[in-house]
Amino acid sequence: MAKKEEFVKEIADIDEDFAKWYTDIVIKTELADYTDTKGCIAIKPYGYAIWENIQNYADKLFKETGIKNVYFPLLIPESLLQKEKDHVEGFAPEVAFVTEAGGEVLEEKMCIRPTSETMFSTLYSKWLKSWRDLPMEYNQWCSVLRWEKETRPFLRSREFLWQEGHTIHETKEEAMERTLKMLEIYESIIEELLAIPVLKGKKTEKEKFSGAEETYTVETLTRDGRALQSGTSHYFGQNFTKPFEVKFQNREGKEEYAYQTSWGISTRLMGAVIMAHGDNRGLKLPPKLAPIQVRIIPIAMHKEGVLEKAEELKKELEKDFRIDIDDRDQVSPGFKFNDCELKGIPVRIEMGPRDIENGECIVVRRDTFEKIPVKLEELNSKLKDILEDIQVSMYKMCEKRLEEKTQTATTMEEFEKRINENQGYIKAMWCGNKECEDKIKEVTGAHSRCIPFEQENISDKCVCCGKPASKMVVWGRQY
């Protein structure tokens, strides 16, 4: 086995300094770069192409269930933000305001949206008249601003890209159905596109979204055993529709308040992909997600017919695959191989004069580094099989890690010992009291991730206080 230094010297070792490895990956693979605006990143073309693939995949699933895209203002008057008490209190520390424009002090401060429940609510109150207008199910792709004190590219930036869905419904049942449907869609996006298994469940009262009645989450686990909240769906009930007067004439001719939801995923998913799949050679992208699924690397390009054959091959394959050619003449084939691995491209094709003469090429998998000789006439079908196998294998690798890093605890001593020795998820019973939730965080550094839909009876006592407990909660340290 070659030493790590022979591949990418500029990247920290993943097992020695995971945090630095992560930021090195973001910069060295040209996903993003730091800017003069503190806490904000510039997403570069390769990084944005990954986000576009997430966006396109998600947008299609949204629209199949009746969601329509809209766009709402970036600026929100302070008076709107103040209408829902719990909501404004929850976001107050992160809100940025515009107080002056055109050289004059504004009559009312304008909040730069941290989220758009208030703006949607005020317009829904204007548009909604009758039960016949319902449901109104809208989504916007946009950026939001939250004044985070500590930032990390993609995982926690002050400005970040996301989608935020906002819907209103005739009944509680319809609103809850939409809330849970979006959670299923998020699960599908993360598991099927990103090849990462999710933990799915309901947030505790302490961890739920400000202003929500209930918050549901899909959580992912990083390579170093920390949790990442990767998508949330909220049921608001009438918590926003009442203060914002979002009401309608129901089927009996009486006035009634609508029932509301909101839900979102963000560029944090890109951080999840890096942290779940990457290694010491760089990114490792699932084929369904990768902007470039296949890269052709011609060997001895100066020799007659080599580059021409590579271009011919690209033309044949590009109808079925996202494919390019590395035809740079200023760097060596070895440099190109390393660069291909660094960028996480799932498959590379190596092809020189002798390969062409023999009517074959070498296909190299990014996930296992296996080198597979393939006849050129069989290349299209073989590539499909290989890419499909890579997608499945990457998911299974994360699934195996999830199993290895999920443990149970019945006492605080067990909890602390196990999370310190093998950082990951801890399943433990909880009495439901916030004091115990706070104590667990204080002692172990672990937050409640969720109350899973699939419950297990680990014991009949709370892991913290020893009092009777009926809820099993999954806990974990977080990013």
Residue where a domain terminates, one of 368, 401, 434: 401
* pLDDT score of 10: 80
257 and 310: one domain? no
355 and 395: one domain? yes
* pLDDT score of 423: 98
Q: Which two tokens stand for residue 202?
A: 């309901």
Q: What is the CATH number of the domain that holds 454?
A: 3.30.110.30
Residue 113 has what DSSP assignment? P
236 and 317: one domain? no
Q: Could you count the other beta carbons within 10 Å of the beta carbon of residue 362?
A: 16
pLDDT tens for 300-322 read 988 999 999 999 999 999 999 99
Give the distance from CA 218 to its chain's centroid. Answer: 10
Phi, psi of 32 (to 5 degrees): -160, 170
Residuewise pLDDT in 10s, the chain (479 residues): 344 444 456 899 999 999 999 999 999 999 999 999 999 999 999 999 999 999 999 999 999 999 999 999 999 999 988 887 677 677 788 899 999 999 999 999 999 999 999 999 999 999 999 999 999 999 999 999 999 888 999 999 999 999 999 999 999 999 999 999 999 999 999 999 999 999 999 999 999 999 999 999 999 999 999 999 999 999 999 999 999 999 999 999 999 999 999 999 999 999 999 999 999 999 999 999 999 999 999 999 889 999 999 999 999 999 999 999 999 999 999 999 999 999 999 999 999 999 999 999 999 999 999 999 999 999 999 999 999 999 999 999 999 999 999 999 999 999 999 999 999 999 999 999 999 999 999 999 999 999 999 999 999 999 999 999 989 999 999 99
187 and 303: one domain? no
- Does residue 23 fall inside a structural domain? no
Are 55 and 141 in contact, with CB atoms under 8 Å apart? yes
Q: For residue 462, give the 3-state DSSP assignment.
A: coil
* pLDDT score of 86: 72
Report the relative pairing of strands 68-69 and 136-145 from DSSP bridges: parallel
- Does residue 3 fall inside a structural domain? no
* pLDDT score of 332: 94
d(CA 20, CA 262): 34
177 and 260: one domain? yes
259 and 341: one domain? no
102 and 219: one domain? yes
- Does residue 286 fall inside a structural domain? no
Residue 4 has what DSSP assignment? G
Residue 385: C-alpha distances to residues 322, 378, 380, 408 (Å):
15, 11, 9, 38
Q: For residue 343, give the 3-state DSSP assignment.
A: coil
CA dihedral 450, 19, 197, 406 (to 10 degrees): -60
Q: Which of 293, 291, 67, 289 is nearest to 190 (CA)?
A: 289
**Residue 420, domain extent:** 406-476
The domain tally of the chain equals 3
- Does residue 15 fall inside a structural domain? no
d(CA 296, CA 362): 10
Residue 457: C-alpha distances to residues 101, 203, 441 (Å):
58, 18, 22
243 and 316: one domain? no
Q: What is the CATH number of the domain that holds 202?
A: 3.30.930.10
Residue where a domain terminates, one of 277, 308, 328: 277
pTM of the model: 0.95
Q: Which of 58, 291, 312, 276 is nearest to 185 (CA)?
A: 58
Residue where a domain terminates, one of 401, 434, 459: 401
Q: For residue 49, give the 3-state DSSP assignment.
A: helix
- Crossing angle, helix 268-277 and helix 379-404, to 10 degrees? 90
CA torsion sign for 182, 188, 194, 198 is positive
Residue 6 has what DSSP assignment? G
d(CA 314, CA 343): 19
Q: Look-up: residue for tokens 């926690």?
A: 156
* pLDDT score of 92: 80
* pLDDT score of 312: 95
Q: For residue 61, give the 3-state DSSP assignment.
A: helix
Q: What is the CATH number of the domain that holds 382?
A: 3.40.50.800
48 and 155: one domain? yes
- Does residue 221 fall inside a structural domain? yes
150 and 180: one domain? yes
Residue environment code for 369-408, b if the CB has 16+ CB neighbours within 10 A, otherwise e: eeeeebebeebeeebeebbeebbeebbeebeebbeebbbb
- Does residue 13 fall inside a structural domain? no
* pLDDT score of 3: 43
Question: How far apart are the two ends of the chain, measured CA to CA in Å?
Answer: 32
198 and 157: one domain? yes
Alpha-helical segments (H) within 92-250? 117-127, 172-188
230 and 214: one domain? yes
Task: Judge residue 31's burial from the number of C-beta atoms within 10 Å of its C-beta, 0-12 exposed, 13-18 middle, 19 or more buried.
Answer: buried
CA torsion sign for 221, 226, 232, 235 is positive
- Does residue 382 fall inside a structural domain? yes
Report the relative pairing of strands 360-365 and 347-351 from DSSP bridges: antiparallel
- Does residue 285 fall inside a structural domain? no
Are 288 and 193 in contact, with CB atoms under 8 Å apart? yes
